[in-house]
Structure formats: C-alpha cells, structure tokens
Amino acid sequence: MQEADVIFLYRQPLLAQWWHRGGLLGDLVRHVLIHEVGRHFGLSDDDMTRIESE
C-alpha cells in the first residue's frame, strides 16, 4: 500500500518559532512549506531560497 503525500504542520512549534522570530505567521508557514516540499522533491537550499524570494 502506498502512503499519501502529506505534510503535517504542528501548531505549537510554529507558534513558538513565530513568537521568537516575529513577522507574519503566514510568512513562516510559507517558509516551512517551501522547505518541506523542496526536500521531498530533492531541491537544493539555493533552489528553495530562490523560490522564497519570488
């Protein structure tokens, strides 16, 4: 049986990171999603940084 591709975002760690970093919560969620999806598809750190800057 094949597992579904799922990304879990855990609220408490996100909120703790948001509290420490400041800024917009949506920006942090976007950052986390880009990095999780990027790692899944084998993107480099440079690729993910470039995507984040778009």
5-44 pLDDT, tens digit per residue, is 889 999 999 999 999 999 999 999 999 999 999 998 999 9
Residue 37 lies in a domain: yes
Following CA atoms 48, 27, 3, 12 in sequence, which dihedral angle do they give, to the nearest 10 degrees?
A: 130
CB 49 within 8 A of CB 36: no
Specify the number of domains making up the chain. Answer: 1
36 found inside a domain: yes
Query: Does the residue 42 lie in any domain?
Result: yes
In a domain, 5, yes or no: no
Predicted confidence at residue 5, as pLDDT, reads 82
Residue 24 lies in a domain: yes
Global pTM? 0.82
